[in-house]
């Protein structure tokens, strides 16, 4: 699925609605925007939505995790979407700073996305302060899917409809058991993960009803180093898994505890132990 549609979907969640309304207000301006949120919440979709509402003539996308082939110097006005700005290398930051200092029509409108708090990165000298002030003038934030319970059914139905159109099907619906399974999942990958799960269920089902057997989840520890090895003690494995899960969730302890299947109290005790050992 390409980009989540902020116009076609009826949104109940107050915070998401406020973000959408502010986005519409800002679309016609040239203000540099920073869209914050966890993986899969729809940051890039919101950036495309703002660009489309702005009627800017050109659109460029810089993926900071894979920026080697991107020529920043060739940008000529329009909108520049900077994905994962928090992952921008020092050299990319230098090039972006030069671009932000252009004084003619070739300077683009910046819309950036980030999973991490750039203010904290600036304080830790991991991100340029001058660049932060140039391209993060207004901050927008999208909440996690599990924090939007009032929107869940509408989102599920919207994604189901789009998935059916994509795969030439119609009239599908979830069984009660299948929907309960969807609703009980924590959705660490947010809307992006939901789209993946629903599209898979649409492809797998042969009848009019999507059953429990068609709901398949994949737990992907994105960003993990994969340095687990035979011979490691259970204690070592536990430490690595906890630390990597915290990194995956941007230090969100509640979400990390859910993914790990432990209580927040247990996680807190483990982290205290690691601090005493000098690991954290």
Residue-level pLDDT at 234: 75
Domain assignment of residue 197, yes or no: yes
Q: What is the pLDDT of residues 102-138, one digit of tens each?
A: 999 999 999 999 999 999 999 999 999 999 999 999 9
Pair 137, 187 in one domain: no
Nearest residue to 62 via CA among 43, 81, 77, 79: 81
Coil/strand/helix, residue 76: coil
Pair 30, 137 in one domain: yes
Pair 161, 101 in one domain: no
Pair 158, 88 in one domain: no
Q: What is the pLDDT of residues 211-261, one digit of tens each?
A: 999 998 875 544 444 455 556 677 777 888 888 888 777 788 888 887 787
In terms of phi and psi (left: phi > 0; alpha: psi -120 to 50; beta: otherwise), the region of 143 is beta
Coil/strand/helix, residue 48: helix
Residue-level pLDDT at 36: 96
Average confidence score pLDDT of the chain:
89
End position of a domain, from candidates 105, 125, 143: 143
Pair 195, 120 in one domain: no
Residue-level pLDDT at 205: 93
Nearest residue to 268 via CA among 257, 277, 279, 255: 257
Q: What is the CATH number of the domain that holds 18?
A: 3.40.50.300
Instruction: Report in angstroms the alpha-carbon separations of 107 from 31, 94, 136.
Output: 12, 15, 15
Pair 136, 67 in one domain: yes
Pair 45, 131 in one domain: yes
Pair 38, 127 in one domain: yes
Q: What is the pLDDT of residues 139-148, one digit of tens each?
A: 999 999 999 9
Residue-level pLDDT at 221: 46
197 versus 240: which is more confidently predicted? 197
Ramachandran angles phi, psi of 18, nearest 5°: -60, -40
What gap in Å lies between CA 22 and CA 50, rounded to an integer?
10
Residue-level pLDDT at 128: 96
Residue-level pLDDT at 7: 83
End position of a domain, from candidates 118, 143, 168: 143
Pair 32, 128 in one domain: yes
Domain assignment of residue 35, yes or no: yes
Within 13 Å, how many C-alpha atoms sit on residue 193's CB side? 22
Nearest residue to 174 via CA among 191, 190, 198: 198
Domain assignment of residue 226, yes or no: no
Region 19-24 average pLDDT: 95
Chain centroid to Cα 247, Å, comes to: 14
Residue-level pLDDT at 200: 94
Pair 203, 133 in one domain: no
Tally of domains within the chain: 3
- Cβ atoms of residues 2 and 41 within 8 Å: no
Q: Would the pLDDT of 169 be above 70?
A: yes
What gap in Å lies between CA 279 and CA 116, rounded to an integer?
21
Chain centroid to Cα 2, Å, comes to: 14
Q: What is the CATH number of the domain that holds 240?
A: 1.10.10.60
Domain assignment of residue 2, yes or no: no
Residue-level pLDDT at 248: 74
Domain coverage including residue 179:
146-214
- Cβ atoms of residues 79 and 109 within 8 Å: yes
Domain assignment of residue 62, yes or no: yes
What gap in Å lies between CA 90 and CA 65, rounded to an integer?
12
Q: Would the pLDDT of 5 be above 80?
A: no
């Amino acid at each position: 699925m390409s980009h989540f549609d902020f116009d076609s979907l009826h949104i109940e969640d107050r915070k998401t609605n406020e973000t959408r309304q502010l986005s519409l207000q800002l679309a016609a301006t040239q203000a540099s925007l920073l869209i914050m949120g966890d993986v899969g919440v729809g940051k890039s979709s919101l950036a495309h939505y703002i660009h489309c509402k702005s009627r800017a003539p050109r659109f460029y996308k810089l993926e900071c995790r894979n920026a080697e082939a991107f020529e920043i110097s060739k940008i000529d006005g329009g909108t520049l979407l900077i994905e994962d700005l928090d992952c921008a290398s020092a050299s990319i930051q230098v090039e972006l700073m030069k671009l932000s200092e252009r004084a003619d029509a070739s300077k683009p409108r910046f819309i950036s996305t980030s999973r991490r708090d750039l203010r904290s990165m600036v304080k830790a000298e991991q991100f340029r302060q001058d660049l932060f002030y140039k391209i993060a003038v207004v901050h927008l934030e999208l909440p996690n899917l599990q924090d939007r319970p009032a929107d869940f059914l509408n989102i599920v139905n919207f994604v189901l409809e789009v998935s059916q159109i994509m795969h030439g099907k119609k009239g599908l619906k979830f069984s009660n058991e299948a929907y309960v399974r969807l609703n009980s999942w924590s959705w660490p990958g947010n809307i992006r993960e939901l789209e993946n799960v629903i599209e898979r269920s649409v492809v797998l089902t042969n009848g009019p009803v999507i059953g429990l057997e068609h709901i398949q989840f994949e737990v992907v520890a994105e960003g993990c180093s994969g340095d687990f090895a035979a011979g490691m003690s259970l204690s070592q494995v536990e430490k690595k898994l906890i630390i990597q899960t915290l990194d995956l969730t941007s230090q969100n302890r509640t979400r990390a505890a859910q993914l790990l299947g432990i209580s927040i109290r247990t996680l807190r005790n483990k982290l205290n132990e690691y601090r005493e050992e000098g690991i954290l």
